[in-house]
Amino acid sequence: MNKQLTKNFAPGHGTCSGCGIPAIVRNILDVSEDPVVVVNATGCLEVTSTLYPYTAWKVPYIHNAFENAGATVSGIEAAYKVLEKKGKVKGKINFVVFGGDGSTYDIGLQALSGALERGHRFLYVAYDNQGYMNTGGQRSGATPYGANMTTTPAAKGDIGNELDRKDIMEIVAAHGVKYLAQANVFNIEDMRAKAKKAFETDGPSFLLVLQPCTNSWKFPVSDYVKVAKLAHDTNYWTLYEIENGQYKINQYISNPKPIEEFLKTQKRFKHLLLPENKKALEKIQRDVDFRLEKLKKKTGE
């Protein structure tokens, strides 16, 4: 057991073999120099880390329902402010929310929006595995076009999920948040640097981390880093940050690979590689290029 990395989050949790979520949690908590309080919305991380009577968390931790992680962290932060004023708590405490894409894009969006609007000081980390994975792989607002999920099966000529992934970064940015960033689990150094900046922000901050799901994206358990890297190399998941309204792309890809390279590693996209679905494949490539161009314009470069 690695002592430094298990300082805040211990093993003995039941995440699937080859899941990247624990690496995200450990590295983000490891960055914080001050004590942390963790709020966790329902999701893979919650159900696997808190199997009664065991808890993998060594830091103060509160679990709440899918929809109110934002509201819970607001209350905790407000209570901290009052206690600090009365002199009952000393020193800075960081507040971190971990939520999946289900609790960020869909169910918890309203509470998150409220918390961002009120300007509480907390970091919201969304690990994005593009669906409701702990309940069997239903489609969420983060599921990309063409994915074969249990609620959007690709059969009898259907393409799978017919809707596009929603741009949560833009939704959060519209609240005037001072720091938000898109990170990827394969680039842990970049993720740690972003978490550090987020902890230093006075006010809400947001971190969206891509987390390939071995179970529902359907790839071998040893490959989460490889798949995440391909998402980066094909420009499917660009690493960028928005600091005080300024967009910045952290890493440019000079020779991006075609999107097929990323899609063919996962069985959820298997049907897209059939000759009759060529148009869908072209659409996905077009969308990737379009999103990157849009982002480049915003950086002003």
Partner 1 sequence: MEKGATIKHDIKKASKTGTWRNVRPEIEVSGCIGCATCVKYCPDACISLRKRKKDEFIEGGKATENVAEIGYEFCKGCGVCAEVCPVKTISMKKE
Which pair of structure tokens corresponds to residue 83? 């206690």
From the list 35, 54, 150, 162, which residue makes contact with partner 1 (rule: CB under 8 A)?
54
Verify binding: residue 18, partner 1, rule CB under 8 A: yes
Rounded to whole angstroms, the Cα distance separating 45 from 98 reads 8
# residues contacting partner 1 (CB under 8 A): 37
Contact range with partner 1 by CB under 8 A, out of 45-53, 101-109, 197-205, 285-293: 45-53
Residues 230-249 that bind partner 1 (CB under 8 A): none
- In the complex with partner 1, which residue's Cβ is closer, 6 or 285? 6
Rounded to whole angstroms, the Cα distance separating 38 from 76 reads 10
- In the complex with partner 1, which residue's Cβ is closer, 89 or 188? 188
Q: What is the DSSP string of 84-135?
A: HHTTSS-S--EEEEEEEHIIIIITTHHHHHHHHHHT---EEEEEE-SSBTTT
Do residues 165 and 130 make contact, with C-beta atoms less than 8 angstroms apart? yes
| List of E strands, 65-122 | 94-100
CB 286 → partner 1: shortest distance, Å? 32
Contact range with partner 1 by CB under 8 A, out of 12-20, 119-127, 162-170, 290-298: 12-20
CB 214 → partner 1: shortest distance, Å? 8
Verify binding: residue 20, partner 1, rule CB under 8 A: yes
From the list 47, 193, 225, 295, which residue makes contact with partner 1 (rule: CB under 8 A)?
225
Contact range with partner 1 by CB under 8 A, out of 91-99, 147-155, 221-229, 246-254: 221-229
Rounded to whole angstroms, the Cα distance separating 264 from 278 reads 14
Do residues 240 and 182 make contact, with C-beta atoms less than 8 angstroms apart? yes
Residues paired with residue 248 on neighbouring β-strands, in sequence order? 241
From the list 79, 83, 174, 221, which residue makes contact with partner 1 (rule: CB under 8 A)?
221
User: In 10 A of CB 192, how many CB atoms?
Assistant: 15
Task: Compute the radius of gyration of the chain from its Cα atoms.
Answer: 19
Provide CB contacts within 8 A for 190, sequence distance 6+. 183, 184, 239, 250, 251
Residues 62-101 that bind partner 1 (CB under 8 A): none
Rounded to whole angstroms, the Cα distance separating 70 from 87 reads 26
Do residues 222 and 270 make contact, with C-beta atoms less than 8 angstroms apart? no
From the list 37, 39, 56, 142, which residue makes contact with partner 1 (rule: CB under 8 A)?
56
Q: What are phi and psi of 117, to 5 degrees?
A: -65, -40
Contact range with partner 1 by CB under 8 A, out of 69-77, 120-128, 223-231, 292-300: 223-231
Binding characters for partner 1, 173-202, by CB under 8 A (x = yes)? ---------------x--------------
From the list 179, 224, 262, 269, which residue makes contact with partner 1 (rule: CB under 8 A)?
224
Rounded to whole angstroms, the Cα distance separating 263 from 147 reads 10
Verify binding: residue 255, partner 1, rule CB under 8 A: no
From the list 35, 51, 135, 282, which residue makes contact with partner 1 (rule: CB under 8 A)?
51
Q: Give, as one character, the DSSP assignment of residue 145.
A: T
Contact range with partner 1 by CB under 8 A, out of 19-27, 163-171, 230-238, 250-258: 19-27
Rounded to whole angstroms, the Cα distance separating 38 from 15 reads 18
Q: Which residues lie near partner 1 (CB under 8 A)? A: 1-3, 5-6, 10-15, 17-23, 26-27, 50-58, 188, 220-226
